Each structure stands twice: as C-alpha cells, then as structure tokens.
C-alpha cells in the first residue's frame, strides 16, 4: 500500500482505500454505522466474515477501512484510552475527545498507519459522527462513507437522509446503502453488518435481520 524509493527517500501516500464500504449516519439522538464483510488483498478475497464495526466503549463504536493489523492496533489503543479516561475522571470520554485521540495517533505515525475510521457515538452533547482519514484529518459529519464503494453508498444515503428518520428507517437505509455498493464494487461484498448506537447502548445486527 505504501512504497519508498531508495534514491529520493520519498514516501507515497495511498490515493484511496482499495476494498471495503463503510457508512455512518447521525440523527438527533442516535447514530447508525454500516459495513460490508469482505476483506481483500489485491484481487484475492482474504475473508468473507470480516468485522468492520468495532465497539470502543459502551457509548461509541467505529468502522474501519484500510490495513487490518493497523486498524486492530488502533482500536485496542482507543479502548485503553477510554478506560483510562473514565478511571481518572469518573466520566466516559466524549466522542469528540476520542476523535481527537485518533487524529493525534494517525498524525503522529503518518504515513505508517493506513487506517480510515468513522467514529460514532452518543454522549452528554448528543449524537455525533466523525470521519478521520489516515493523515489525521477530522471532520464532523451528518452522514459519510469510506472505502472503494463510497460513491455508491453515499449517493443513496444523500438522496434519502432525513434527521427525523426513525431507528428502523435509519437501519434500513444503512443496509440499502451498503448493499448498493456490494452490487457494484468488487472490493465490497459478503453481506452487511449494522450498528445502532443510542443512549441505551450499542446493538450490532446482521443486515439479513433488518426487514
């Protein structure tokens, strides 16, 4: 994914993440995350059961795209940071603060961590969604997507998004968006997983169960 020419010593950044489709959609008091299950290595399907939605804390979860080992390492670091914050303050870490932690880590290690993350959660400020790229850039979003199926998923979400959607309607929208990407993008496939993050906690579901 990265290359280094010995003569110039210049590191090349990846132009885009090849494979995967993940989405995040924020509403008034909850967030929905969605992802496909296909993990690829070039043109090889490395896994049909990859988990791309991961729980960070009881109120925040993330989608991952990029190099699997890098993403797993980053998620474990975030879990630790969340526990340390709560143990020292007695309060759960805010979603915004956790997004800044991700940004600092990716910025500090760039370009050696190839991870793009969507971070969604609910805290005392309400529901929020953040997109963090592999350079550490953080943007707060109402809805967004990552991966090679981005354009297919985001176009459907953008055409049907409303802040007033019910939880059931939001989950169905997320499933439809990921499925649209899997039907057109060879780097995405094998089904859909979705997560509902609300004040009641985090629930991860299979797209097949969303009717």
* Catalytic center residues: 20
DSSP secondary structure letter of residue 75: H
| Sign of the alpha-carbon torsion through 66, 71, 74, 75 | positive
Please name the residues in contact with 53: beta carbons below 8 A apart, sequence gap of 6 or more.
22, 33, 34, 35, 61, 62, 63, 193, 194, 195, 204
Work out whether the CA dihedral 181, 63, 158, 122 comes out positive or negative: positive
Peptide bond into 111 cis (omega under 30): yes
Tell me how far apart the alpha carbons of residues 159 and 132 are, in angstroms, rounded to a whole number: 23
Please give the structure tokens belonging to residue 161.
């998004």
Q: Rounded CA gap, 157 and 159, in Å? A: 5
């Amino acid at each position: 994914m990265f290359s280094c020419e010995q003569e110039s010593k210049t590191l090349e950044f990846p132009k885009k993440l090849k494979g995967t489709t993940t989405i995040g959609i924020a509403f008034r008091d909850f967030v929905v995350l969605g992802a496909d299950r296909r993990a690829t290595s070039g043109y090889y399907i490395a896994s049909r059961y990859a988990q791309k939605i991961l729980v960070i804390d009881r109120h925040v979860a993330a989608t991952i795209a990029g190099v699997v080992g890098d993403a797993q390492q980053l998620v474990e670091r975030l879990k630790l940071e969340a526990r340390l914050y709560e143990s020292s303050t007695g309060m759960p870490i805010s979603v915004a603060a956790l997004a800044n932690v991700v940004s600092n880590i990716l910025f500090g290690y760039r370009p050696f961590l190839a991870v793009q993350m969507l971070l969604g959660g609910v805290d005392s400020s309400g529901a929020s969604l953040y997109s963090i790229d592999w350079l550490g850039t953080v943007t707060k979003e109402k809805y967004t997507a990552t991966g090679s199926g981005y354009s297919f998923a985001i176009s459907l979400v953008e055409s049907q998004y409303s802040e007033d959607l019910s939880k059931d309607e939001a989950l169905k929208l997320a499933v439809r968006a990921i499925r649209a990407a899997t039907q057109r993008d060879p780097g995405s496939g094998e089904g859909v997983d979705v997560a509902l993050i609300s004040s009641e906690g985090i629930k991860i579901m299979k797209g097949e169960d969303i009717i």
